[in-house]
Structure 1
């Protein structure tokens, strides 16, 4: 990405991937998973992204259903308190998405520059 001209660096490819009919992974879900990993809380992650808790839970639930296993692990309150953490699947999803995003952005400078040039034209 560093090979891009300074004005083009703000343009990034953030892909949405469809794995069959049941799984869609995109920047919103990945950002949510990343925030859950940082905050250890779905509600705190939702707040940090400006997303209603119900929407955050539905996004996570759609990933759980699509993969047939959980992307986060939740623990209810009690003496040590509750909390949420990413499962290995959740961590692997973030890593795979980040690798894909990095590769796409490394390969995309000519197309990104062409799109930027089109945006600059005010005919």
Structure 2
């Protein structure tokens, strides 16, 4: 999210792996809307394999499954966020909102007061 000259991006790590970040939150939104990993992948312009790997990573990083899948091709097949996944996504979005308010802080205002609009040209020494 960008607020004036401030860009804040929350990434939660599980070891070296990103367990949740803006892209994974968007993927969870797409899975919720599409009801399928493949349809979510298409909607986000990603390969199915990459999307599946992101979902698998989230499921391995959190204490509970984030996304459940049902194979078969019938009405019951597809993917959905678990109750835990829904809660996780809501908490992450709340964290993003909290971080967005950093742009309203006194510390940010003090820093921004000294920030140039554009960088100066490099010295030609």
TM bucket normalised to smaller: 0.7 to 0.9
Kindly indicate whether residue 53 of structure 2 is the aligned counterpart of residue 55 of structure 1.
no
Over the aligned positions, Cα root-mean-square deviation in angstroms equals 2.8
Q: 1:76 aligns with which of 71, 78, 81?
A: 71
Q: Which has the larger radius of gyration?
A: 2
Deviations 1:56-101 (A, max 9, x none): 1111111111124321122223552522111011111110110000
Kindly indicate whether residue 90 of structure 2 is the aligned counterpart of residue 92 of structure 1.
no
Richer in helix (by share): 1
Give the TM-score of the pair, scaled to structure 2: 0.74
Structure 2: segments with no counterpart, 5+ residues = none
Aligned to 1:120: 118
CA distance in 2 between counterparts of 1:83 and 1:25 reads 22
Which 4+ residue blocks in structure 1 deviate beyond 3 angstroms?
Answer: 19-23
Choose between structure 1 and 2 for higher RCO, CA contacts under 8 A separated by at least 6 residues: 1
Aligned to 1:46: 41
